[in-house]
Amino acid sequence: MTLFDDTRQLLQELIQNACVNDLTPDSGQEIRNAETLERFFAGTPNVEITKLEPRPGRTSIIVTVPGSDPAAEPLTLLGHTDVVTVDRPKWTKDPFAAEISDGKIWGRGSVDMLFITATQAAVTREVARTGGLRGTLTFVGVADEEARGGLGAKWLMEEHPHLFSWKNCLSESGGSHLHATDGSDSVVITVGEKGAAQRRLHVNGDAGHGSIPFDRDSAIVKIAEVARRIDAAEIAVAKDDIWQGLVQAHRFDPATEKALLEGTDPAAYAEFGELSRIAHAISHLTIAQTVVRAGQAINVLPSHAYLELDIRTLPGQSNDYVDEVLRTALGDLAAEVEIEHLISEEATLSPTDFPLYQTLTSVLGDFFPDSPVVPVISTGGSDLRFARKQGGVGYGFAVHAPERTLAYAMGQLHSHDEALHLEDLELTVQGYEAVVKQFLS
């Protein structure tokens, strides 16, 4: 069988194992995918295999192919093995059958990110069989990525920081395309990701019987006003090279480009079409109001209410900056609002003037010689942030056909009827094989 056939069969089995992470400690059970991967590597020469789990069933697998030169640059492929939940009635296919039809492989995790995980494993096995590389190659099938890595990459970083190299890492996702207004094409590499600055905003009011609400300080009315003011917050547009590069890649007319880069007209985001929401998130601190709570009994006026905010920061935006944005939006109400910090992680960014990034651009240039590479940041999180925290670099890499735009690829993540074009799987296998051989030899 070909390397593509091996990858496709492995991908189908990884999907069928249904390692669904519902964010509870005993979900995921990535041990099923770890065992599949262990069988996949069975009998392969020149590999060292380690399995670790911080909790029963939450298993990560590390496969190392030692290079011939200990001083050569290493490469680590971080592929997560868990997937998010499904709403089965909304699917027209069995989400865990890994059915192949219409030129696609269907199933939860087919795009996020089991196709990259399967590719990384298959290329690692092929390299182990053929040998000839100076640098050490490591494949890591990581648990718990969908729950921010507490039982996966984060745990490995904290408890086993020297088990493998974090210096040069590849993971999800990149290789999709940007179509400019003049018909030209660009291809993206993910070089960073936004941070998290989750907040819970508390307000207090007067308790009392629901039958006598007159002249009460209502916690519910107050939290509603908090929500209104947060929604109306004026957030400054990014002034970084990533945002400028994304705008310029689309070759908008001068007036639209100016409005986007200076943040003077929110309506200009419509020019991005299906990419408008993603473009807005890449260019702003975003504040999503996701949870509100107040009261327990219908006949009791609650004395407390809170609002939870999913805030995503850009590189360089600190916790103090986020709190200042909130207080400014709240205005004269700020003194009555307690700001509680929940999960907070800074945004991370890898440089583009770095050998691994240059290898990626070279490989993509071979596939798409007329398509310049555009670095982008991810609006969500990935395990690559742990590599950056360890002082390494991390890039999201895959290879998609030109028809698959960034908006299309992002639209498949966590969606109903998630599906991957087999053409993109074959391209990604070829891309990873080229990157590994170029970078490590």
CATH for 355? 3.40.630.10
For residue 289, pLDDT over 90 is answered with yes
Same domain for 269 and 378, yes or no, is: no
In this predicted model, what pLDDT tens digit does every residue of 28-74 receive, in sequence order?
999 999 999 999 999 999 999 999 999 999 999 999 999 999 999 99
pTM: 0.94
Question: Is 88 a member of any domain?
Answer: yes
Question: Is 188 a member of any domain?
Answer: no
For residue 353, pLDDT over 90 is answered with yes
In this predicted model, what pLDDT tens digit does every residue of 211-233 receive, in sequence order?
999 999 999 999 999 999 999 99
Question: Is 186 a member of any domain?
Answer: no
Question: Is 238 a member of any domain?
Answer: yes
Same domain for 388 and 318, yes or no, is: no
Question: Is 206 a member of any domain?
Answer: yes
User: What domain range is 200 assigned to?
Assistant: 193-345
**Which sign, positive or negative, has the C-alpha torsion 80, 85, 89, 94?**
positive
In this predicted model, what pLDDT tens digit does every residue of 112-130 receive, in sequence order?
999 999 999 999 999 999 9
Same domain for 312 and 360, yes or no, is: no
Same domain for 58 and 149, yes or no, is: yes
Question: Is 207 a member of any domain?
Answer: yes
In this predicted model, what pLDDT tens digit does every residue of 398-409 receive, in sequence order?
999 999 999 999
Question: Is 185 a member of any domain?
Answer: no
Q: Work out the average pLDDT over 418-432.
A: 98
- The two tokens of residue 63 are 């496969």
For residue 259, pLDDT over 90 is answered with yes
Q: Work out the average pLDDT over 8-30.
A: 98
Q: 333: domain CATH number? A: 3.30.70.360
Same domain for 28 and 81, yes or no, is: yes
Same domain for 361 and 337, yes or no, is: no
Our count of domains for the chain comes to 2
Q: What is the pLDDT of residue 132?
A: 87
Same domain for 157 and 33, yes or no, is: yes
Same domain for 172 and 249, yes or no, is: no
Same domain for 61 and 148, yes or no, is: yes
Same domain for 298 and 388, yes or no, is: no
Q: Domain end: 314, 345, 376, which one?
A: 345
Same domain for 358 and 376, yes or no, is: yes
Same domain for 174 and 226, yes or no, is: no
